[in-house]
């Protein structure tokens, strides 16, 4: 074995050695005039918790040896049995290497998980920004142009009171068509980015979305919303709203529900949105659902803003989504 060594025999030098010599392994005698192995082990575990520490001693009681191992020493060797030292050192170094590699892998995994999270949140933001820009563009440009054409047709109709009835009929049909187009534009704009959320806030947006859901599915939503204003920033409001939309879409797609309950409450620090249906439910522990992105996206929206999302469901017993968001 090739190695460099540094021998110290007091606390200050030991601490200095841990900081500056950076050992791969520590071999410690039990008792010295100014220092001892228990103190050394304690300091080593605080400063360099993953560096192996082997007690090499003339005599200690079995109880003491067990205690030292419990405190985190890798091994203890009696000086009468010193020939065991090389294999003990090798084993401790191998073990430390495995621990180090595992730690490194864990750090890398955490880092890449965080990066994926950042990327997902970044893409989500871009998507929302694009949707809202598109909504503005369609509303301002297309909406205004259609309105102008509608006014022109009204003007033409007035000028053509004595014209051929076929022409008058054509103009009336055109006006009707433009009115329908304007409604379509409004629907597209609202679906892209619900202006109601920015103008009137999360409570009205939830009511509006619930009403749309009831119209489309015939399923009644029992809504209970906290009284008074809700102190929530626009990002949190949008996250809550999108979570609500996805929950309703899931109910529509999968639940076969006859009843939905939605409540929005606040505590001193959190807003809590709950969406519950009495439908088929699913096995949340089966894991299969983790492959799909709807529920995952809902969770991510909450987590990115410091919140939490809990799913409670079991077959035949409906589904409940609980979201808590700090404000
Ligand atoms: N309210 C619900 N009632 C019953 N099952 C549900 C409900 N919500 C979710 N599920 C189950 O959980 C699965 C995962 O839902 P998730 O929203 O993640 O994906 P999805 O709706 O299938 O697809 P998408 O990615 O388009 O949202 C669904 O396929 C469904 O089996
Ligand atoms: Mg879904």
Q: List, as ranges, residues with CB under 5 A of the ion ligand 2.
A: 250, 294
Give the closest residue (by CA) to ligand 1 atom 24.
294
Domain boundary assignment for the chain? 11-108, 114-192, 195-326
Cα 254 to Cα 233: distance, rounded to the nearest angstrom: 31
Q: Whose CA is nearest to atom 9 of ligand 1?
A: 250
Q: Which atom from ligand 1 is nearest to the alpha carbon of 321?
A: 1
> Distance between CA 78 and CA 8 in Å, rounded?
20
> Do the domains spanning 11-108 and 195-326 agree at the CATH topology level?
no
- Where in 204-315 does DSSP place strands (E)? 220-225, 259-266, 270-277, 308-313
Report yes or no: 58 and 81 within 8 Å, Cβ to Cβ.
no
Q: Of the ligands numbered here, which is closest to the C-alpha atom of 251? A: 1
In tens, the pLDDT along 277-309 reads 999 999 987 766 666 789 989 999 999 999 999
The answer to whether the CB of 196 falls within 8 A of the CB of 202 is no
Q: Which of 256, 292, 317, 319 gets mutated to test ligand 1 (max ligand atoms within 8 A of its CB)?
A: 292
Which pLDDT score, from 0 to 100, does residue 65 have? 84
The answer to whether the beta carbons of residues 189 and 138 sit under 8 Å apart is: yes
Helix (H) or strand (E) run with residue 326 in it? strand 319-326
Query: 282 by DSSP, 3-state: which?
Result: coil
What CATH number has the domain spanning 195-326?
Answer: 3.30.565.10
Assign a CATH topology to domain 11-108: Rossmann fold (3.40.50)
222 burial class (0-12, 13-18, 19+ CB within 10 angstroms)?
exposed
Q: Is the CB of 289 under 6 A from ligand 1?
A: yes
What is the per-residue pLDDT for 195? Answer: 83
> Is 104's C-beta closer than 6 angstroms to any atom of ligand 1?
no
Res 170: pLDDT = 94
What is the pLDDT at residue 61?
81
Report which protein residue has its CA nearest ligand 1's atom 14: 289
Is 240:323 a contact under the CB 8 Å cutoff?
yes
Q: Alpha-carbon distance 290 to 150, whole Å? A: 50
Residues 6+ apart with CB under 8 A from 325: 232, 236, 239, 240, 270, 271, 272, 273, 302, 305, 306, 307
Q: Is 251 in the pocket of ligand 1 (CB under 6 A)?
A: yes
312 lines ligand 1 (CB under 6 A): no
Average pLDDT for residues 91-108, to the nearest whole number? 95
Percent of the chain with pLDDT over 90: 78
Alpha-carbon separation of residue 219 from 245, 277, 314 (angstroms): 15, 10, 21
At residue 34, the 3 state secondary structure works out as coil
User: 27-54, pLDDT tens digit by residue?
Assistant: 999 888 889 999 999 999 999 999 999 9
Q: Is the C-beta atom of 275 inside 6 A of ligand 1?
A: no
Residue 26, strand partner residues: 53
Binding site membership of 277 for ligand 1 (Cβ less than 6 Å): yes
Q: Please answer whether residues 233 and 258 qualify as being in contact, where contact means their C-beta atoms are separated by less than 8 angstroms.
A: no
Ligand that comes closest to the CA of residue 293: 1
Residue 291 phi, psi (nearest 5): -70, -30
CA of 124 to the centre of ligand 1 (A): 19
Could you read off the pLDDT of 112-170 as tens digits, one per residue? 999 998 998 899 899 999 999 999 999 999 999 999 999 999 999 999 988 899 999 99
Dihedral in degrees, nearest 10, Cα atoms 157, 158, 162, 167: 0
Does ligand 1 lie within 6 Å of residue 317's CB atom? no
Instruction: Tell me which H or E stretch contains 87.
Output: helix 85-137
Question: Separation of 247 CA from ligand 2 center, angstroms?
Answer: 7
CB 226 within 8 A of CB 265: yes
- Rounded Cα distance between 98 and 94, Å, is 6
Q: How far is CA 72 from CA 41, 69, 81, 155, in A?
A: 8, 5, 21, 91
Which ligand has its closest atom nearest to the C-alpha of 255? 1
């Amino acid at each position: 074995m090739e190695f460099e060594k540094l021998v110290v025999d007091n606390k200050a030098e030991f601490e200095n050695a841990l900081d500056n010599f950076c050992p791969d392994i520590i071999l410690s005698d039990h008792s010295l005039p100014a220092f001892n192995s228990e103190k050394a082990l304690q300091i080593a575990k605080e400063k360099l918790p993953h560096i192996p520490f082997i007690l090499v001693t003339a005599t200690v009681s079995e109880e003491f040896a067990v205690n030292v191992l419990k405190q985190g020493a890798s091994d203890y060797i009696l000086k009468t049995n010193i020939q065991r030292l090389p294999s003990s050192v090798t084993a401790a170094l191998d073990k430390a290497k495995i621990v180090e590699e595992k730690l490194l892998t864990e750090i890398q995994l955490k880092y890449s998980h965080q990066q994926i999270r950042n990327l997902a949140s970044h893409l989500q933001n871009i998507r929302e920004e694009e949707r809202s820009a598109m909504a503005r563009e369609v509303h301002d440009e297309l909406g205004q142009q259609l309105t102008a054409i509608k006014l022109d047709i009204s003007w033409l109709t007035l000028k053509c009171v004595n014209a051929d009835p076929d022409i008058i009929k054509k103009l009336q049909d055109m006006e009707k068509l433009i009115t329908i187009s304007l409604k379509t534009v409004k629907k597209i704009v609202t679906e892209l980015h619900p202006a109601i959320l920015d103008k009137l806030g999360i409570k009205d947006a939830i009511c509006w979305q619930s009403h749309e859901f009831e119209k489309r599915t015939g399923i009644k939503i029992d809504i209970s919303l906290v009284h008074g204003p809700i102190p929530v920033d626009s990002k949190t409001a949008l996250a809550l709203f999108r979570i609500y939309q996805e929950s309703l879409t899931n109910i529509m797609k999968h639940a076969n529900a006859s009843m939905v309950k939605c409540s929005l409450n606040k505590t001193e620090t959190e807003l809590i949105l709950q969406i519950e249906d009495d439908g088929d439910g699913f096995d949340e522990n089966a894991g299969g659902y983790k492959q799909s992105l709807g529920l995952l996206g809902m969770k991510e929206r909450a987590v990115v803003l410091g919140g939490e999302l809990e799913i409670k469901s079991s077959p035949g017993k409906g589904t409940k989504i609980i979201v808590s968001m700090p404000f």
